[in-house]
Structure 1
Amino acid sequence: MGFEPPQRLVRTLGETYGDAAAAEWLGELPELAGRALDRASLDTERVMAPGGRSSLVVLVRRADGSPAALKIAPPFTRPDLERDALAHWNGWGAVQLLDEAGEGALVLERLHPEVSLRSLPEAKALLEAAGTVRRLWVEPPAGHGFETVTERTAAQASAIELHRADAAAGELTAAALTAREELVAADAETVLLHGNFRQGKVLAGDRTPWLAVGPEPLVGERAYDLARLVRDRVEDLVAASSGASAARRRVNKLADSLDLDRERLRGWSLFRAVESGTRALAAGRRQDAELLLEFASWL
């Protein structure tokens, strides 16, 4: 299968997991894709571009002619956990897992990748997002292998620590780390979470209007899962004269609509924005970092 991996995939894998690991997997990708297509008896239509940030997505046809999507992810992104979460949701609020094709490859229900919640006006998008994520918050399967919010954020907190002396992020870094310590100390929920839920991760479908894709599943409290959604369209918020008050209103509105504690959602929104902002700083994406850290300062 001759193709060039989308540049967004190449860039993000290198930034998140290291250039060496990314290059090794990307070098094997054509053969991996070919084997997955053969194993699941799939015919290729086209590779999605810009596509995902941690996986290759190919629009395909199954042996019976029905449309599907083949998703191939490197082992270090734990596609087995995505498989387990999708199997547990079984199409409830999320894309349906149709088959497996080995070596980190999943055959998924075909959605409309060009139509996400970001295509809707903001108020409508947030309403639909809340309705979608609510369906995902279920009891995790017995004997699951998902990490907890405490475990995932412990590694992130260690990376944030490196920026305590950074002039652009030092004060926010301290506030984010303090917020996390207080949050994990009182976290009693253990529901299954999407892990990376935002408007762009909810696509239009045929069997139901909106379905979540691309989970990075873990277990813990619901407020953590909503924190990434809070800063959606951050560039618009930062550009608006009322951005700070609008951000705080969004926290309160989302918390109230899903019966969450406002302060816990504010705390996780702060932590996750600072984590993303300091990661952008480390990668040299200063403009992205400035947007995220300004947003965090409003919380």
Structure 2
Amino acid sequence: MIEIPERFTQSTIEREGEHGRAWVASLPALAGELLEQWNCRPAGPAGHGQVGIIVPVRSADGASAVLKISFPHPGNVHEPDAFAVWGGRGAVLLHQRDDARFAMLLEQAGDGTLVSLDDVDEAVAVAGQLARRLTVQAPPDLPRLRDQVARWEKDLLNGAERLPRPLPQRVVQAAVATVRELGRDQPDTLVHGDLHFGNVLRAEREPWLAIDPKGYVGDPAFDAITLVRSRFEDLLAADDPKAALLRRLAIFADAAELDSERVRRWVQARAVMAAQWGREHGDPAWLIQVTDRIAELLT
């Protein structure tokens, strides 16, 4: 029987309430059924991310893999679709999927992530190179970011009017302009959607492999925001924070073969959206302040 990490149990119940409690209670039996279905056995204790558990396993032929079971949520629906499109190109391989139970059997990568790299510039460049490899033609049934543009614009304008401690009007208007001008005409390319340093693992088949995609379709520059909200301390502590921030974005843009101005505009717009979302949903004050600062510096 799989033992569910207590920290994961508590965080899921805090976030999802009684539905989360019932789902966590069902996990040991569900994991057992999936292991039997895919002819695997546990090879170590269960780990976890924010919304799912990860169980190292061995298949009948002794090969290593991981069983991932995610909380049933619309944001987790298209993860296996993204893996299927990539087919191991820059991301872990998808071996099996059970969409009804939000479960996958995935290639096992290494333990290290881009977080472990001391050189932040190198980490950003690796992420950019990976973003370039993950930018492929998407199938028609994945969610298009351009379909969210009307909601983004409405939320930006409404948030500026009703949320506490709003960002300066010029900062919000710059984000609105980006959404209007870049949001409606996006390519039909698959983007990761959450390409932060912790979602890039060391591996043997390729040096680095991505995990935990959202399976969005749109502008590859959309992904850059996570690389400035991660390891941000050195940016804001620099003698010239704006120059440091723009330099990091330039490194990403060059590695990903993207237009640096387009990257800047998407990061600024997404920072404003993230700052407003944080005010709405109770993000820690320090995170809102950091996101505010990024949005202001890039305006």
**Given the two structures, how large is their TM-score scaled by the length of structure 1?**
0.86
Query: What is the alpha-carbon root mean square deviation over aligned residues?
Result: 2.6
**Residue 244 of structure 1 aligns with which residue?**
242
What is the CA–CA distance in structure 2 between the aligned matches of 1:41 and 1:288, rounded to whole Å?
43
**Residue 285 of structure 2 aligns with which residue?**
286
Q: Deviations over 1:23-77 (max 9, x none)?
A: 443333233222212211221233454x312221111111222111111112314
Q: Say if 2:72 is the partner of 1:75.
A: yes
Q: Say if 2:4 is the partner of 1:7.
A: no
**Residue 54 of structure 1 aligns with which residue?**
51
**Percentage of pairs with the same residue:** 32
What is the CA–CA distance in structure 2 between the aligned matches of 1:13 and 1:293, rounded to whole Å?
30
**Given the two structures, how large is their TM-score scaled by the length of structure 2?**
0.86
Q: Secondary structure at the match of 1:59?
A: strand
What is the CA–CA distance in structure 2 between the aligned matches of 1:24 and 1:133, rounded to whole Å?
37
What is the CA–CA distance in structure 2 between the aligned matches of 1:217 and 1:289, rounded to whole Å?
26
Match of 2:60 among 56, 60, 63: 63
What is the CA–CA distance in structure 2 between the aligned matches of 1:201 and 1:153, rounded to whole Å?
26
Q: Secondary structure at the match of 2:105?
A: strand
> Which stretch of structure 1 is more off in the superposition, 224-233 or 82-91?
224-233
What is the CA–CA distance in structure 1 between the aligned matches of 2:70 and 2:271, rounded to whole Å?
25
Q: Deviations over 1:129-158 (max 9, x none)?
A: 1221111111113xx321111234555555
Q: Say if 2:165 is the partner of 1:168.
A: yes
**Residue 208 of structure 1 aligns with which residue?**
206
CA deviation after TM superposition for structure 1 residue 203, in Å:
0.3
**Residue 103 of structure 2 aligns with which residue?**
105
> Which stretch of structure 1 is more off in the superposition, 2-11 or 83-92?
2-11
Distance 1:170 1:124, change over 3 A: closer
Distance 1:252 1:168, change over 3 A: farther
Q: Which runs of 5+ in 2 are unaligned?
A: none
CA deviation after TM superposition for structure 1 residue 2, in Å:
4.9
- One-letter amino acid matched to 1:73: S
What is the CA–CA distance in structure 2 between the aligned matches of 1:13 and 1:241, rounded to whole Å?
43
- One-letter amino acid matched to 1:176: A
**Residue 262 of structure 2 aligns with which residue?**
264
Distance 1:233 1:294, change over 3 A: same
**Residue 221 of structure 1 aligns with which residue?**
219
Q: Which runs of 5+ in 1 are unaligned?
A: none
Q: Secondary structure at the match of 1:135?
A: helix
Q: Deviations over 1:212-266 (max 9, x none)?
A: 1110011111111233324431233223333221001222332234332222211
Distance 1:115 1:169, change over 3 A: farther
CA deviation after TM superposition for structure 1 residue 95, in Å:
0.4
- One-letter amino acid matched to 1:98: H
Match of 2:232 among 218, 231, 234: 234
Q: Say if 2:128 is the partner of 1:116.
A: no
> Which stretch of structure 1 is more off in the superposition, 226-235 or 31-40?
226-235
CA deviation after TM superposition for structure 1 residue 162, in Å:
5.0
CA deviation after TM superposition for structure 1 residue 294, in Å:
1.3
What is the CA–CA distance in structure 2 between the aligned matches of 1:153 and 1:57, rounded to whole Å?
34
CA contact (8 A) 2:224 2:249 kept: no
Q: Secondary structure at the match of 1:46?
A: coil
Distance 1:60 1:122, change over 3 A: same
Q: Secondary structure at the match of 2:43?
A: strand
What is the CA–CA distance in structure 2 between the aligned matches of 1:13 and 1:161, rounded to whole Å?
33
CA contact (8 A) 2:188 2:218 kept: yes
What is the CA–CA distance in structure 1 between the aligned matches of 2:166 and 2:195, rounded to whole Å?
25
What is the CA–CA distance in structure 1 between the aligned matches of 2:84 and 2:265, rounded to whole Å?
31
Q: Secondary structure at the match of 2:62?
A: coil
Distance 1:14 1:189, change over 3 A: farther
Structure 1 runs (4+) greater than 6 angstroms displaced: none
What is the CA–CA distance in structure 2 between the aligned matches of 1:21 and 1:268, rounded to whole Å?
35
What is the CA–CA distance in structure 1 between the aligned matches of 2:9 and 2:176, rounded to whole Å?
30
> Which stretch of structure 1 is more off in the superposition, 256-265 or 129-138?
256-265
Distance 1:12 1:196, change over 3 A: farther
CA contact (8 A) 1:195 1:217 kept: yes
